[in-house]
Structure 1
Amino acid sequence: MARIVVIGAGMGGLAAAARLATVGHKVTLCEAAPTHGGMLGRYERDDFRFDTGPTLLTLPAVYRDLMLKTGRTRLEDEVELRPVDPGSVHLLPDGTRVTLANASLARVGSALDAALGGDAGGRWGAMLERGRGVWEATRRPLLEEPLPDDPSALHRDPYVPARRGLLARAPRTLAEVARRELRDARLTALLDEYALRFGLDPERAPASLTWLPYMEQSFGVWYVTGGLRALADAVLRRCEARRVDLRFGTRVTDVLGGDRVTGVRLADGSVLDADVVVDDRAPAASGGMPGRFTLLLALRGARPADTAHRTVVHAPDRADELDALFGPAPRPCERPTLQLLRPDDATLAPAGHETAVVTVTVPPQGPVDWTDTARVTAYADAVLAQAVQAAPELGERLLWSHARTPADTAAETGAPGGSVPPPSLAGAGGAFLSPSNTGAPAGLYRVGGGAHPGGGLARVGMSATVVAGLVGTP
């Protein structure tokens, strides 16, 4: 039985602690904040409740496995899990509206053909088929196994070009995939959104990112009743059941040891001895990535019956949005791509009322000063106006709104600049691979969005599985 200290009660830290305690290790979890969940925060006001981080779940099998392996229960025994249907509604740059089904490539293709014409569905489907090839080639080494000691095989992009032959060259970036294979600004907007939600520039992100839309549109998107905070609560309960020593309000300042870990030093100067340390803190190097601006909306009256859970309003000017996020002088885009989320969940609001959340990818705290109240207020007004254009009744029903910025994320989670960690991606010479789960000194492991296999709730859960396997059984 090893003495293990887990630093951080984000989802990676909680999942790793539960797995390690289940196999017999003595686990102490230290969290600087007074509560758990990390990015899966909660904001409450006037009996309205909001997730402040991710709101939807992909690949729920990751958390089904966690619940089964740590307590022999189904995920559905711990939380109410529902598929989101339709998967999304998109308002494209030219004003076209298209509704995409959840977990059905065939219905997605049919919807695109009907809305856009010109075999748009066929071209999108062909691209996703090549994304499937990326998924199959990289799923194990990039998601389910530790990063190899020699990751050079993952430096090469496995995306196969549409045409083969001696003169065919595979597209190097996601944007090149769009230009060569989609050839439609509206389809490009659909593809760009997958990069933008993780703060990635489609002009630089490798073509292998196509596995994200393939995975989402093949396997589906899910909602947890009560919001994803309910999932964090369920994993915390599993830690309690496995007798993890949970210490909130306990900040770790140093990992101790020479060639091998010996313990951690706490902010009060005391020391916890440890044979293994699992670190769920975000690395400082992640601070340059974009973050999220979130607008929480409390709405008067019940949610209309025909309301989509997720609506994506695409930026009308792609070049301006990319320049605002990734150009030499980062700034909030005046008319960005935004996501409007309106869950059908009576547990989030007083009886007869509704919650909605608008999210936008923005530069992190630093290049933009998100502590400037006037800036935040002005941007909140602009984002709300854009959301109201897409759903006019929002303006008529608004009781109040609350803006959250990368500065809030940084303050609450410790993420440098409030950045959102991206997923690991093959290609680009390894530039988009997350740091390994192992570190120096021996006995130190990294878990969570800042470590292999990268950001996103499913991949954070996978990182916990990888780390538990590396530590092993007593």
Structure 2
Amino acid sequence: MARIAVIGAGMGAMAAAARLAVAGHRVAVYERGGSYGGAVGRLERDGFAFDTGPGLLPLPAVWRDLFVKTGKEPLEDRVALVQVDPSSAHLFADGTRAVLPNASRAGVVEALDEALGAPAGQRWGDFLVRAREAWDRTRRPLLEEPLWPNWRVLAEREPYPAVPHKRLLRTRRATTLAEVGAWELRDERLAALLEGHALAHGLDPRTAPANAAVLAYMEYAFGLWYVRGGLRELARAVHERCLARRVEFRFDSEVTRVLTADGRVTGIETADGTTAEADFVIAGVPTGVLERIAGEAVRRGEDEVPARSAAPSRLTVHLALRGARPEGTAHRTVVHAPDRAAELDALFGGGSGPCAAPTVTVLRPDDPELVPGPGFEAVTLSAVVPAGAEAGGHAESLIDVAGRAVPGLRERLLWHEVRAPAAVAAATGAAGGAVPAPALAAAGGRLLRPANTTRTRGLFTVGGWSHPGGGLPHAGMSGALVAGLVVEGPEFRGSQ
């Protein structure tokens, strides 16, 4: 039985803790805040409740696997998991509206043909076939296996099978997601639909590699799910699973130093000066925090993926509305920006200020547990913003944009609360409230994350700032990978 100290109680960290406890190790989690879940938080006020982090769950199989492997108990026995259908409604700049079914390629093709006109659906369907090929090529190395020692193979090869594009006697293949949209989809609305998947993860589609197509494929192939009561219920269930496996949680206990000797971890030290011995330390904290508390122990060599912390953040506005949610309302509506180029310039450089009319995601869950009674509705708006951005009047812009999706929004509004990047930073410790994106291949390795192992024996990293990157499925897989590396050692090659 090894003594294991886990730094942080985020979702990836708790996933690792539960798996390691089942393997027979003594696990203690040190969390600087007063609760678990990291970015998966909750706001409650006047009988209303809102998720302050993710509002939908892709790839629930990752978390189903955790519950089976740590107790032979289905995830559905611990939370009420509901498939969202339709998966989303989309309002495009020209006023076109498309409502897309969940996990149905044929249904999506039909819906897009009906909304946008043929051959829009067929083009999107053909794109999904190519995206599936990219998914098949990258699923294991980017999600299910520890990062390859020869990671540059992933950095150099573009796995998306782009269609040859002829222009001015030249034949080219798309290397960025924006080029895929322009050359293969050939419809501004389809391009906006595609680029929206990258933007939702804080990626600039103009520079994101073509294989970012897998982000769209994951949704349309495996569907989107909602946890009754909000995604915070998933965090609660994972925390309870940890407790059932005798994982110790020490909240309000900030780790300030990782202790090492002779190239191996020996324990941790907390802010009050207390030290705890450990055979393994698993750090589920952002890059900057880890470098501060571990120093040379995590410094990357030239042959390793460099640690990168730059990423945009989220601005979220929670709305308490009078009046019931109309029957047939889509759980999620994406209101696309009228000027995509201006929005991308504002986010990723070149613009003169915040985008006045950004792409806004509107979540309207059909969940009586989130409202004080049948005559109310809880709505969450979110948009990608630069890390460290102040809310200012930008929250009002989100409400104005959301009015396209929620008729009479201003008249129904009881109150609203704004969650700016500073609140994300407070919950996660990430500078400026940055939110990491999932790992992607190609692009010179720019979107890969550092391996879960470090140069120091016994020190591992978990969560969105390490392999395989950000997002709830990736967090769960990072926990599985780290647990495998601790239990089986360097020969561990991932799930079978």
Specify the TM-score bucket, using the shorter chain as the normaliser: over 0.9
1:470 maps to 485
What's the CA shift string for 1:2-46, capped at 9, x where partnerless? 110000000011111000001100101000000010000111111
2:277 maps to 273
Please give the alpha-carbon distance, in whole angstroms, between the structure 1 residues aligned to 2:354 and 2:48. Answer: 28
**1:161 is matched by which residue type in structure 2?**
A
- Once the two structures are TM-superposed, the CA of residue 288 in structure 1 deviates from its matched residue by 2.6
Please give the alpha-carbon distance, in whole angstroms, between the structure 1 residues aligned to 2:393 and 2:13. Answer: 37
The percent identity for this pair of structures is 55
- Once the two structures are TM-superposed, the CA of residue 104 in structure 1 deviates from its matched residue by 0.3
Please give the alpha-carbon distance, in whole angstroms, between the structure 2 residues aligned to 1:164 and 1:380. Answer: 41
1:160 maps to 161
RMSD: 1.6
Is structure 2 residue 370 aligned with structure 1 residue 393? no
Matches within 5 A, 1:341-360: 341-352=363-374, 353-360=376-383
- Once the two structures are TM-superposed, the CA of residue 329 in structure 1 deviates from its matched residue by 5.4
* 2:455 counterpart (440, 450, 454): 440
Please give the alpha-carbon distance, in whole angstroms, between the structure 2 residues aligned to 1:76 and 1:205. Answer: 35
Is structure 2 residue 115 aligned with structure 1 residue 115? yes
Query: What's the TM-score once normalised by structure 2's chain length?
Result: 0.92
Partner SS state of residue 70, structure 2: helix
**1:240 is matched by which residue type in structure 2?**
L
Ranges of 4+ aligned residues in structure 1 off by more than 6 Å:
none
The question of whether the paired residues in 1 share the 8 Å contact of 2:163 and 2:174 is answered with: no
Please give the alpha-carbon distance, in whole angstroms, between the structure 2 residues aligned to 1:146 and 1:11. Answer: 18
1:23 maps to 23
Please give the alpha-carbon distance, in whole angstroms, between the structure 1 residues aligned to 2:21 and 2:213. Answer: 36
* 2:236 counterpart (210, 233, 238): 233
2:298 maps to none
Please give the alpha-carbon distance, in whole angstroms, between the structure 2 residues aligned to 1:473 and 1:158. Answer: 30
Please give the alpha-carbon distance, in whole angstroms, between the structure 2 residues aligned to 1:462 and 1:169. Answer: 36
What's the CA shift string for 1:216-246, capped at 9, x where partnerless? 1011000000111000000000010010111
Query: What is the number of residues matched between the two proteins?
Result: 466
Please give the alpha-carbon distance, in whole angstroms, between the structure 2 residues aligned to 1:319 and 1:230. Answer: 37
Partner SS state of residue 4, structure 2: strand
2:77 maps to 77
**1:183 is matched by which residue type in structure 2?**
R
The question of whether the paired residues in 1 share the 8 Å contact of 2:88 and 2:100 is answered with: yes
- Once the two structures are TM-superposed, the CA of residue 342 in structure 1 deviates from its matched residue by 0.3
**1:39 is matched by which residue type in structure 2?**
A
Please give the alpha-carbon distance, in whole angstroms, between the structure 1 residues aligned to 2:22 and 2:352. Answer: 46
Please give the alpha-carbon distance, in whole angstroms, between the structure 2 residues aligned to 1:291 and 1:254. Answer: 27
Partner SS state of residue 73, structure 1: coil
The question of whether the paired residues in 2 share the 8 Å contact of 1:64 and 1:75 is answered with: yes
Is structure 2 residue 244 aligned with structure 1 residue 244? no
2:211 maps to 208
Is structure 2 residue 126 aligned with structure 1 residue 126? yes
Is structure 2 residue 60 aligned with structure 1 residue 87? no
Is structure 2 residue 215 aligned with structure 1 residue 193? no
2:316 maps to 294
**1:275 is matched by which residue type in structure 2?**
D
- Once the two structures are TM-superposed, the CA of residue 473 in structure 1 deviates from its matched residue by 6.0
**2:205 is matched by which residue type in structure 1?**
P
2:96 maps to 96
- Once the two structures are TM-superposed, the CA of residue 454 in structure 1 deviates from its matched residue by 0.5
Please give the alpha-carbon distance, in whole angstroms, between the structure 2 residues aligned to 1:192 and 1:213. Answer: 9
The question of whether the paired residues in 2 share the 8 Å contact of 1:93 and 1:189 is answered with: no
- Once the two structures are TM-superposed, the CA of residue 341 in structure 1 deviates from its matched residue by 0.2
2:55 maps to 55
Partner SS state of residue 403, structure 2: helix
What's the CA shift string for 1:190-218, capped at 9, x where partnerless? 01111111110000000001011111101
Partner SS state of residue 18, structure 1: helix
The question of whether the paired residues in 2 share the 8 Å contact of 1:286 and 1:416 is answered with: no
Q: Unaligned regions of 5+ residues in structure 2, if any?
A: 289-306, 490-496
Please give the alpha-carbon distance, in whole angstroms, between the structure 2 residues aligned to 1:446 and 1:377. Answer: 35
2:295 maps to none
**1:421 is matched by which residue type in structure 2?**
P
The question of whether the paired residues in 2 share the 8 Å contact of 1:253 and 1:266 is answered with: yes
The answer to which of 118-127 and 19-28 deviates more is: 118-127
**1:327 is matched by which residue type in structure 2?**
G
What's the CA shift string for 1:287-342, capped at 9, x where partnerless? 43111000000111221112110000000001110110011457421000000000
* 2:386 counterpart (348, 363, 384): 363
The question of whether the paired residues in 2 share the 8 Å contact of 1:109 and 1:121 is answered with: yes
**1:101 is matched by which residue type in structure 2?**
P
Partner SS state of residue 272, structure 2: coil
Please give the alpha-carbon distance, in whole angstroms, between the structure 2 residues aligned to 1:158 and 1:192. Answer: 18
Please give the alpha-carbon distance, in whole angstroms, between the structure 2 residues aligned to 1:315 and 1:440. Answer: 44
- Once the two structures are TM-superposed, the CA of residue 440 in structure 1 deviates from its matched residue by 2.6
The question of whether the paired residues in 2 share the 8 Å contact of 1:303 and 1:344 is answered with: yes
Partner SS state of residue 39, structure 1: coil
Please give the alpha-carbon distance, in whole angstroms, between the structure 1 residues aligned to 2:165 and 2:207. Answer: 23
The question of whether the paired residues in 2 share the 8 Å contact of 1:159 and 1:170 is answered with: no
Query: What's the TM-score once normalised by structure 1's chain length?
Result: 0.96
1:333 maps to 355
Please give the alpha-carbon distance, in whole angstroms, between the structure 2 residues aligned to 1:9 and 1:330. Answer: 38
Partner SS state of residue 9, structure 2: coil
Partner SS state of residue 308, structure 1: coil
Please give the alpha-carbon distance, in whole angstroms, between the structure 2 residues aligned to 1:28 and 1:69. Answer: 20
* 1:263 counterpart (252, 267, 270): 267
The answer to which of 405-414 and 335-344 deviates more is: 405-414
Is structure 2 residue 25 aligned with structure 1 residue 10? no
Is structure 2 residue 332 aligned with structure 1 residue 310? yes
- Once the two structures are TM-superposed, the CA of residue 137 in structure 1 deviates from its matched residue by 0.5
2:36 maps to 36
Please give the alpha-carbon distance, in whole angstroms, between the structure 1 residues aligned to 2:135 and 2:401. Answer: 35
Please give the alpha-carbon distance, in whole angstroms, between the structure 1 residues aligned to 2:72 and 2:353. Answer: 48
Is structure 2 residue 399 aligned with structure 1 residue 384? yes
Q: 1:272 to 1:328 in 2, by over 3 A?
A: farther
The question of whether the paired residues in 1 share the 8 Å contact of 2:335 and 2:404 is answered with: no
**1:237 is matched by which residue type in structure 2?**
E
The answer to which of 217-226 and 431-440 deviates more is: 431-440
Partner SS state of residue 191, structure 2: helix
Please give the alpha-carbon distance, in whole angstroms, between the structure 2 residues aligned to 1:466 and 1:71. Answer: 18
The question of whether the paired residues in 2 share the 8 Å contact of 1:5 and 1:28 is answered with: yes
Please give the alpha-carbon distance, in whole angstroms, between the structure 1 residues aligned to 2:182 and 2:362. Answer: 27
**2:277 is matched by which residue type in structure 1?**
D
- Once the two structures are TM-superposed, the CA of residue 377 in structure 1 deviates from its matched residue by 4.5
